[in-house]
Structure 1
Amino acid sequence: MACLSLPVRRRTLAGLAAVLLAPALAVPAMAADALRIGGTGAALAVADALGKAFAAGRPEVEITVLPSLGSSGALRALADGAVELAIAARPLKPEERAAGLDAVLFARTPFVFVTARPSAQPLDSAALAALYADPAPHWADGTPLRIVLRPETDSDSTLLAERLPGMAGALALARRRPEVPVAATDQDNLRIAQEMPGSLTAATLLQLLGEGADLRLLPLDGVAPGLEALEAGRYPLFKELYLVTRRDAGPTTRAFLAFLASDRARTILRRAGGLPLL
């Protein structure tokens, strides 16, 4: 039987090792722990800030905040396993709980009126319905007032209709006017409002501050919107945000939820215009 010389044997073993190790070398030593977050557009900016704070010092964690899916879209994605965490602007429906989802109230943020005008004109909640219903509304100085609407089924529209007297009918009338834009997403809402002279729209303080929108906050019934006014009960309008997970949520998702109750996360949330509730 032929016998390999020592140099040839070494070359042969080295080649065999290279072949055997090639698949292993092609695969990363450790796959990142993915945490995909989707939800209402109002929370995207603060979710990104919180995700970056959580991932700092955790190289194995990879957090992705998806473009606005809306509350219902994010909840469907969560039930289907397309995201690990949803942020919703409404409580869960019975059928969503039946699908294995759990929710916890996460934050409250002032729901505010904003404009692209350089100066802020105070608003009267009792007069807002007439303003929205007016086919040719004007600001106090006589310049045109141009409202921006959200879809009829959006939580912003629901809040306005439920919390302000006469607003449900006023919104219905405004939707009949072809010149009134309807913003499909929270991000579209602020973009249109910034680009439209004399604009008036409603949004959350959380989104406004988180995205750094160039819009002016309008006092409502003599009260400037802010966390302090909301906490004191002086500012009447707000939205609540819910963190939603599957009941079989993984360890990374649960660790992120625990982080959101920390002092660091609460500070980030408050600076962005959210009142922490965890």
Structure 2
Amino acid sequence: MRKTSAWTVLFLLCTAWSASAQVTDTIRVNGSGSAMSMLKPLAEAYQHSNRHVEIVAGKPLGSSGALKALLAGAIDIAVSSKPLSAEDSAKGARLFPYGKTPLALVAEKEVPATDLNSAQLEDIFAGRMTRWGQGPALRLVLRPEGDVDTQLLRGFSPAMNQAVSLAQARPGMLVAVTDPEATALISRTQGGFGVAGLASVLEDGFPLKVLTLNGISPTTAALAGGTYPLVKDIHIVIAGGTTPAAMAFITFIYSKQGRALAQKAGVWVTASATPAR
């Protein structure tokens, strides 16, 4: 009995060593919440077909944080919703456009509304609309002032720009730093409302209601048709010394299979070719 147990332990140890020994390439990826949500199914599919590869993706750092990590050599690939600054480019960062995802209006599941018009959206941020009709109190979840989502909302209209300033100045507001944090916070807040990239809404799995804006749903088809106005870019960013393993994964991201997975994850892929190294 003891001998059998010893062989069992030895077998398990050998199996674990063998499995770990098969991983010869590690690819470290980070970026914006929406882009990281899109990347989940792509990473799973790539690792399934490439057993020697491990794709390591921690908690989203956001576009700015991921670019800093990339330039510091802490990650191999950044997925960003921001353009590069002149300083980033001077330090060796190279950006390749990939696609776009709608910035969706999302609410807690029990909110009675299904659509907001432009005036209502402005009223929510300005603090003039504080309840969902005869339903619960409206709890707005903001993004940080420097966040891409906040800037997109500011660019929606001059009135919206003013409304966002009022919201940012109000004390006691709920704030979420990334898309996954926003979808999680909105889903568990009665009457909660905010914005998040559609890729995060679809992939993160929190119970949410996606609202239409002026009757238009935030879909990739609406982006392609130019009818939905709130759009987040998704870029692939690398720096000097990108490993062959990382470049192979990027090639997969731009491949027919990768594009199909991204489309299913809520991204309209606009890039036409794999970027040259």
Partner of 1:5: none
**Higher alpha-carbon deviation: 59-68 or 122-131:** 122-131
Give the aligned partner of residue 39 of structure 2: 47
Corresponding residue for residue 140 of structure 1: 133
Match of 2:87 in 1: 95
Q: 1:6-63 CA distances to partner (integer Å, 9 max, x unpaired)? A: xxxxxxxxxxxxxxxxxxx9xx867621100010112223212111211223222111
Letter in 2 for 1:199: G
TM-score, reference length from structure 1: 0.85
Identical pairs, percent: 35
Q: Which amino acid aligns with 2:148?
A: S
Q: CA deviation at 1:81?
A: 0.7
Q: Deviations over 1:141-183 (max 9, x none)?
A: 3532111001111111111111233222212222333332111
Q: CA deviation at 1:224?
A: 1.7
SS of 1:87 mapped into structure 2? strand
Partner of 1:225 in structure 2? Answer: 218
CA distance in 2, matches of 1:242, 1:158: 17
Distance 1:40 1:251 in 2: 23
Query: What secondary structure is seen at the aligned counterpart in 1 of 2:121?
Result: helix
Are 2:109 and 2:207, in contact at CA under 8 Å, matched by a contact in 1? no
SS of residue paired to 2:142? coil
Q: Match for residue 26 of structure 2? A: 34
The 8 Å contact of residues 110 and 225 in structure 1, kept in 2 or not, is answered as: yes
2: CA distance between counterparts of 1:29 and 1:232?
Answer: 48
1:7 paired residue number: none
CA positional deviation for 1:256: 1.1
Question: Is 2:39–2:262's contact at 8 Å kept on the other side of the alignment?
Answer: no
Superposition CA RMSD, Å: 1.9
Query: Highest Rg: 1 or 2?
Result: 1
Superposition pairs for residues 189-200 of structure 1, below 5 Å? 189-200=182-193
Counterpart in the other structure of 1:259: 252
Is residue 231 of structure 2 the alignment partner of residue 241 of structure 1? no
Q: Offset at 1:218? A: 0.6
Name 1:170's counterpart in structure 2: 163
Could you tell me which residue of structure 1 aligns to residue 115 of structure 2? 122
Q: Is 2:175 aligned against 1:214?
A: no
State the partner residue of 1:104.
96
Cα contact 1:43–1:87 (8 A) shared by 2: yes
AA aligned opposite 2:199? L
| Residue from 49, 64, 78 that aligns with 1:72 | 64
Aligned letter for 1:194?
S
Give the number of equivalent residue pairs. 252
Provide the rounded CA distance (Å) in 1 between the counterparts of 2:137 and 2:51: 52
Contact 1:107-1:277 within 8 A present in 2 as well: yes
Unaligned ranges ≥5, structure 2: 1-16, 272-277
Hey, what's the Cα distance between the residues in 2 that align with 1:224 and 1:155?
A: 21
CA contact (8 A) 1:103 1:245 kept: yes
Report SS of the residue matched to 1:259: helix
- State the alpha-carbon separation in 2 of the partners of residues 142 and 57 from structure 1: 49
2:136·2:190 contact (CA, 8 Å) conserved in 1? no
Alignment partners' CA distance in 2, 1:254 and 1:187? 27
Residues 112-150 of structure 1 deviation map (CA, whole Å, 9 limit, x = unaligned)? 101114344311123322221126612233532111001
Unaligned 5+ runs, structure 1: 1-24
